[in-house]
Amino acid sequence: MILQEIKEELLSKYSDHEDLQEVLDSLDGEGGSLSYWAGELASESFGNDKKLAKELYEIALEEASSNGDKLSIIVDIVNRLGEKEWAKHLYQELLKSGDDLYLLSSLGASLAKDYKNSDWAREVLSKALEVANITEEKFWGFECVASSIQQSLEDNDWAKKIYMDGLAKFPSVNNYVSAASAAADNFQFNDMRWAKELFLLGQKIAETFVDFKRLADGMGRLVDHHEMSDENDEKIEWAFDNYIVALYLADDTDAKKDIKSGIKELGIKAAGAKQLKESAVKILQKIGKENLIID
């Protein structure tokens, strides 16, 4: 069915519908997305008109400007229309479009969450992991695949392994902090024990005030200022120690001001110069970073 025929059918069937003009404007390229209105046609608002919705989805697919847009439409086709066979064909076509890491990760996640085919999802996510290992995406590639696996398949062991493989290949304080944040996130791994291990691994390779500030910022974001507990106190103490080292190593006034702001957010008053140096030296000795002590 061509666009003009869809318009005529809409006018014929829904002349009194309050959203009709918006749908027509969308078809003329003046309103919302075609896929949005295709979804609306498949809803109770338009009497679950799945036949007309399918026609509109077909046009939306033809006009989609990116593979990401196409994937969003396929997800709608699965969830709004329940057209699994059509969706299967569309997924297969999308897989032929290339080895884009983000697309493969998103597609694999959709196959698990929307299409409900975990075996196919694992196959696609494994392909995404292969791409992560050979491209220049660096740690982000591993993080992208691991996040998709954890969120869609809830396979924490596999996702953790990918994070650790990525960190082994691309070790940096920033990457350890990013992984630790995912580990601690209630909507991801919700594993504070693993998060602490990652923070400590990041601390082992920290060399500059920027590194220690990143560690402190990362842990500081996990502090719940409305909670009173030993675990929360440990987070505050650990973040504070790293801020102290960062402040000790910083040689720029603006940088020091920024670090002090982080300390203030922890609810702690920054120490004086002499006390700061003594505290920083003790912390560096404690964590085996004596080489960073300034004579």
pLDDT in tens, 129-155: 999 998 877 899 999 999 999 999 999
Question: What pLDDT is stored for residue 174 in this prediction?
Answer: 97
Closest CA to 192 of 146, 154, 224: 224
Q: Which residues contact 177 (CB under 8 A, 6 or more apart)?
A: 198, 199, 202, 214, 215, 217, 218
- Higher-confidence position of 145 and 294: 145
Query: Is a pLDDT exceeding 70 seen at residue 1?
Result: no
- What amino acid is encoded at 224 in this protein? D
Kindly report the length of the chain: 295
Mean pLDDT of the chain: 92
Q: Which helix (H) or strand (E) holds 286?
A: helix 273-286
pLDDT band at 273 (very low <50, low <70, confident <90, very high): low
- d(Cα 49, Cα 167) in Å, to the nearest integer? 50
Cβ-contact 218, 264 below 8 angstroms: no
Question: What pLDDT is stored for residue 104 in this prediction?
Answer: 96
Query: Is a pLDDT exceeding 70 seen at residue 102?
Result: yes
Helix (H, G, I), strand (E, B) or coil at 115: coil
Residues 16-53 pLDDT 10s: 899 888 888 887 775 557 888 899 999 998 989 999 99
The pLDDT of 239-249, averaged and rounded, is 95
Whole-structure pTM value: 0.87
Closest CA to 215 of 227, 224, 206: 206
pLDDT band at 291 (very low <50, low <70, confident <90, very high): very high
CA 207 vs. chain centroid, Å, equals: 28
Closest CA to 162 of 135, 140, 186: 140
Give 75-126 as a DSSP string: HHIIIII--HHHHHHHHHHHHTT---HHHHHHHHHHHHHTS--HHHHHHHHH
Cβ-contact 175, 211 below 8 angstroms: no
Q: How many other β-carbons are positioned within 10 Å of the β-carbon of residue 218?
A: 24
- What amino acid is encoded at 44 in this protein? E
Cβ-contact 25, 37 below 8 angstroms: no
Query: Is a pLDDT exceeding 60 seen at residue 92?
Result: yes
Cβ-contact 108, 152 below 8 angstroms: yes
Query: Is a pLDDT exceeding 90 seen at residue 212?
Result: yes
Question: What pLDDT is stored for residue 271 in this prediction?
Answer: 61
- Higher-confidence position of 226 and 131: 131
Closest CA to 57 of 22, 25, 82: 82
Question: What pLDDT is stored for residue 224 in this prediction?
Answer: 86
What are the backbone dihedrals phi and psi of residue 48, each rounded to the nearest 5 degrees, phi first?
Answer: 50, 50
The pLDDT of 237-242, averaged and rounded, is 96
Question: What pLDDT is stored for residue 202 in this prediction?
Answer: 98
Query: Is a pLDDT exceeding 80 seen at residue 269?
Result: no
Question: What pLDDT is stored for residue 76 in this prediction?
Answer: 94
